[in-house]
Structure 1
């Protein structure tokens, strides 16, 4: 196999009594970098090419479907039998299933909240933190669907209705660099086609219980921390990022101009990827 050819695998793995769908990019011998998506977000939202470029920077990139998204185990819609603590343990369980003890964590929105919890409660597992579109306050999954831009009443079992709702939500929360509608529609169709239960996928994270708060423990975080935040984020406006930067010792705040509450649009990939790779090369701060 040519040296520059990326190895991509997708597999079902037993994690915490359920099955999660996991996909990797790059060489297993490189430092691990775990991508943790936001509420309702399957791995599909971490763009394939974005993952390949991170892997080309010398990282073993891992993305996965949260429970209740994509091909991972799904529960009945409306009453999820788990909490955000379980979702955080799922992230660690993915690493365990791959035989990885430590990783660089990259979390977006809810994923950023989960990464904060892991950094506080399991600091020995975290090499660095990159937190995107997130906050110190109760995370996105504790907000109402309208606050997230999610239509609370689409026909999730109908492909066209579900795709239209997802595209509309992304556009409401995005900015001038958000992908165009044809691109978003193809992505939403991929999400729909990979998902066991769209109603559960789009609602259960928003209704799951919260675990013990960790905000008052953010000062305990010792992992080098990068905060990437869109200047147009309507869910967590800029003061949220500034507060997060203040409360985590030594954190760096990097603004993404013209970006909303969204996975990184391609216009800022170079900036985001360079920052994440640079962050993953920084030394852990002394305790």
Structure 2
């Protein structure tokens, strides 16, 4: 009888220990997984950005008419996703939150970069990026005299080469396509090809052409509105050279001119008004310059 009593007591102790373990374990894991928000700001609060480096020129952006533009070291359209990745710092979370007067040990006295987000010229928030933690490969940053340890992707986004932050779309988001003048391209020079959107329908200057509206809409959408160049670089037109060219007509009556620098092995299109040259793969480039107008073969 005594043995059975001892056995029951032992089993009760085991069950109690198991219950205690299961009860305590989630709390321990939750504590280990605690995260701190670097800030509670909203993206819409900010309309200008400055990225400052110790040994090279600052990079600045400004939000104009709802779109981000590079304003230094040169002025042009910015890649909107690149800017969003920079602004993502405001939503960063950290497993470490350190209040310390010794910023030197985190590399924050002479930071690797400073990121300033502006509401207006007199109202900004500053984030300093310091050294890396060799154990976690995360980076120390400070904001409002508090140190956090965050992913190194935030510094990478802010340190991207400036030319990679230029918008890779050949047309501005606000430019509404209403037609194309291909008459100065070699393959269309004889026929003087023009394609125009008239009362919602695509019309072609070549009599024999039989364009299908859905095909034309898809071509414009795929090839010009949503296409992205694989790279972009600064472009200064050579005034001594006359390139084959095309013009895209806009709904407001304006025109955008492109120089065709080369067609193979990649298509290079220069946009003089913005001082940019776009590189497209040859297959995509061929489609861009040859709309599906369905001219019967002779």
TM-score, structure 1 as length reference: 0.21
Bigger Rg over Cα? 2
Q: Which has the higher contact order (CA 8 A, sep 6+)?
A: 1
TM-score, structure 2 as length reference: 0.20
Q: Name the structure with the higher strand share.
A: 2
